[in-house]
Every structure is written in C-alpha cells, then in structure tokens.
Chains A and B, each alone.
Chain A
Amino acid sequence: MTRLVIGTHGAVAQALAEGARFASSPARTTVREIVRRDRPTELAIVALPPSLGSLGTVETSELERLLGETLTTAAAAIQTLTELEYSTRVVIVCPAGGLLPDHCDGVRSTIAAGLVMLMEVASTLPGICVNALLVAEAIPPTEVAAVANLMLGTNAETINGTTIRMDGGHDAVLAAETRTEEKN
C-alpha cells in the first residue's frame, strides 16, 4: 500500500501522513506530478483550513484562493488517479458544514459542499472508491485520523460515495447542544 496525503497542514494531516508522503496544498500541476510519480493506492485529501468566517464579509478573492488550494487540488488529484490502472481508495476530510451549512463559517461550508459533491461524482468512476469524512472543530485529530484510516483500509467496494459526519451528534437535530447542556 502506498499512501499519499495532500491538503492543509495540521494535526489531522500529520496523523494520517505518518510514514507516508504529505504534500501541503500543492498546486494543480504539482499534485498531478506527485500522483503520477508516487502511484498511491490510498489518497487522503485533508481540507481543514482555518475558518475565514462568513461569506458576506469575505472578499471573493479569498474564496477563490481557498477554492484553489482545496477543491481544485482535490479534483486534479482524483482526475490523475483515473489514469492509474489499479484500484485506489480516497477519503476527503473536510468541515462538517459541507452537509449542514454553518453561516458563521460560510466560506468553509461552501468549499466543503463542493468537496462532498466532488466525492459523489467521483464515486462513479471505475477503479476509485471515494468517501468523505465531515468533522466538527472539537473532534480530536486522532479520532478523525482513526476513522479516515478505517475508510481507507476497508476493502468493501460498496462503501463508496458515502459520508460520515463526526460531530458527536452536535448537529443531529436543531439545538442538540442545548439538550446536552440540560442533561449535564
């Protein structure tokens, strides 16, 4: 097994990249070169940049920059994987706002939504099993990495095109946080 980890630097990426190559938010052409050279059988795409806040307050150029560093790179990596003649497993790790948007974290939610759809359309490609792991801020990186490892390690080809949300049930229902506080 050859693992490649690309994306934003941080504790999750470090945990996943132990003993593997890590490329920090490489440009589109660079990530293609790396994939062709390393020929990974496992690819972890980590897209957990610092929050840029809400959409209304951020300049479009900042949204563009983040899109380029995360979504565009991820798409290029998966495109290149399709050139390889063997099966590859991919996990995309991104903010939980990709499923249930958080307007206070609207920039990352928007990017994450794109990453989730990237996962969905890529899961139809032959030879690639791709899934997404959506994580809340408070989740310990080691727990995130453990679940990502499970998603990369399974041989079940039916586990493809799915999402796991790691938020401890925080967003399972509206105001779940309040209920937890009451219980405590």
Chain B
Amino acid sequence: MTAMRALVTGGTSGIGAAICRRLAADGWRVAVAGRSQTRANALAAEIGGVAIVGDVANPADDTVDRAATALGGLDAVLLNAGVILDADLPSTPDADWDLLMDVNVLAVHRQARAALPHLQATQGSILITASDAGVWGEAPIAAYSIAKRMTLTMTRCLAAEWGPAGVRVNAICPGDTAPGMLTTTAGRRTPGATDGWLAPPLGTIVRGEDVAAAAAFLVSADASRISGTGLLIDAGMRSSASAWQAQSGAER
C-alpha cells in the first residue's frame, strides 16, 4: 500500500512537530517545513521524512511545490506555521501587526492556493491551524485573535469553494498547548513552563500530541465527509464564559 503524503508547515517545533511525529507513526510520509534547517533536518531524520526549508511569510516561498516534488505528490497540506504576539490592541506595534497578518492570514491564503492543484489531483485535504482565540477572542493577544478569526472564515469559505473539486478544508483550534508557541513566546514566562496557566475544565493542559491526534483524524479517510469545520482542542476552555473557574479557580 502506498503511503499517504503530507506537508506540515511550521513543522519543526511545538504543535507542528507533534503533528509530524503522529502522521509518521500513522504511516504517512511527511515533509517537515520550517525556517530552521537544523531543526527540519533533525526531525525529518527522526521520522523518515524530508526537510523543506522556507519562510512562508515570503511571497515567493515555494514550500508547497518543493514538498510535492520531494514526496511525489501531496495528499494533505497542514498549514500550521504561525506567530503570536503577547499584546493587547493599543500595545501592538505596526510591524508586529503586519507580521501577524502576513504569516497567519496572507501566507495561509497563498499556500492554500498553491496546494489546490496538488490536492485536487489526489482528492486530498487542507488543515489549517487556527486557535481557540479565533473562536472566542482574547484581548491580551488581540492581533492574534483577529488573525485566527480570519483563518476560520477562510477555512469555511474555501471548504465551500473547493468541495466540488474534491478537496476538503478544515481547521483545528488548539487551546493553550504545551509544547506550543505559548511555551516559547519570548518574554512571556520561563520557556517551556506552563506555570500560571489557567486549568481548563478537564483539569490538564492540552498537549501537542492531543492536537496532533485531532489533526491526524481530520486529514484521514475517516474524516472524508468532514469539511469546513473548526475543531476545538482546548479541554473545554471555550465551553463556558467561566470555564476557567471549573477547576475551583486553581492555576496550574
């Protein structure tokens, strides 16, 4: 049986790396894409995949086409690359606003369009990493919330537009995840630490593997009738306005 082939952007760390490992464990051939050649090479070697080095914020980036060439086609494209800024709206510098829009919105649009012909050929799917902050906004990460709401709308629009071509488009909406971008945001807290995070109703912080499991499902044949959805993986945090109090207000 021929292995399915996937590209994961932002695949060298955090949630992206967890997705790469999960897909490889499920038998996929994976193109690990990211800006760091060292990290991409290391993970690709670990999982038997291929490394693609590129920056999705660059309008001339051809990560999708290079991955398709390296793998001989694509059955899934997981647009996971993203950036976050720890700032409310008044504190958001113009340059950071532009970067968030470039990477989290415009690059997703550009790469989704680049992926379409490859996925139409295989009747494959796109999976966009959105965020729970796009479902229900968070003022302390204002620009990020705005960008992720836009990617959710993009997901739904593209699902309707490309469904007739046999291409599914879905999104995952992770909550606070470790390891994830929140554990590496500069200046936020001790890198890697989750102390101070609010515990969700289920009591434990979402892990990268949890998000990867949802991603693996949505690009699998088991999800062949699912398109245009945004799946929350947040341990219940967006289930109620006071969900963060469900664990007696305790912090983890």
**Interface, chain A (partner B; CB < 8 A):** 28, 54-56, 60-61, 63-64, 67, 71-72, 75-76, 78-79, 82-83, 97-98, 101-103, 106, 109-114, 116-118, 120-122, 124-125
**B157 touching A78, Cβ below 8 Å:** no
Decide yes or no: A125 and B90 within 8 Å by CB, A60-B109, A63-B109 being known contacts.
yes
Nearest Cβ distance between residue A80 and chain B, in whole angstroms?
Answer: 9
Q: Do A79 and B153 touch across chains, with their CB atoms under 8 A apart? A: no
With A63-B106, A72-B97 in contact, is A110–B146 under 8 Å at CB?
no
**Chain A nearest Cβ from B238, distance in angstroms:** 14
Report Cα–Cα, A118/B152, bound state, in Å.
15
- B154 is contacted by which of A55, A82, A120 (Cβ under 8 Å)? A55
Residues of B within 8 A of A106 (CB): 153-154, 157-158, 161
A146 CB, nearest partner CB in chain B, Å: 28
Contact of A109 (CB < 8 Å), options: B98, B105, B113, B153: B153
Please indicate the chain A residues that have their CB under 8 angstroms from the CB of B105 in the complex: 63, 67, 110, 114
Contact B94 A28 (CB under 8 A): yes
Kindly list the 6 A-B residue pairs having the minimum CB-CB distance in the complex, ordered from nearest: A106-B157, A103-B160, A113-B153, A117-B149, A124-B139, A103-B157
Question: Does residue B172 face the partner (Cβ distance < 8 Å to A)?
Answer: no
Q: Is the interface of B mostly helix, strand, loop or mixed?
A: helix
Q: A97-B153, A98-B153 are in contact. List 14 more A-B contacts (CB 8 A).
A: A28-B94, A56-B112, A60-B106, A64-B106, A75-B146, A76-B94, A101-B156, A103-B159, A109-B157, A110-B105, A110-B150, A113-B149, A113-B150, A121-B138
Which of chain A's residues have a CB closer than 8 A to the CB of B152? 113
Is B116 part of the binding interface, using a Cβ–Cβ cutoff of 8 Å?
A: yes
Q: Number of B residues contacting the other chain (C-beta, 8 Å)?
A: 37
Is there a chain A Cβ closer than 8 Å to B134's Cβ? Answer: yes
- Contact between A120 and B158 (Cβ–Cβ < 8 Å)? no
> B145 to A121, Cβ gap below 8 A?
yes
CA distance A61 to B109 in the complex (A): 10
Encoded as 1 (CB less than 8 Å from any A CB) or 0, chain B from 93 to 110 comes to: 010011001000110011
Q: Is the CB of B139 within 8 A of A121?
A: yes
Give per-residue flags for B75-91: 1 if the beta carbon is below 8 A from chain A beta carbons, else 0: 00000000000001110
From A56, A67, A97, A98, contact of B161 by CB (8 A)? A56
Tell me which residues across on chain A come within 8 A of B101, comparing CB atoms: 64, 67, 71-72
One digit per residue, 1 when the CB lies within 8 angstroms of any chain A CB and 0 when it does not, for chain B 138-171 equals 1100110111011011101111111000000000
Flag if B89 contacts A79 (CB, 8 Å): yes
Which residue on B lies nearest to A57, using beta carbons?
A: B161
Within B150-196, the residues touching A (CB, 8 Å) are: 150, 152-154, 156-162
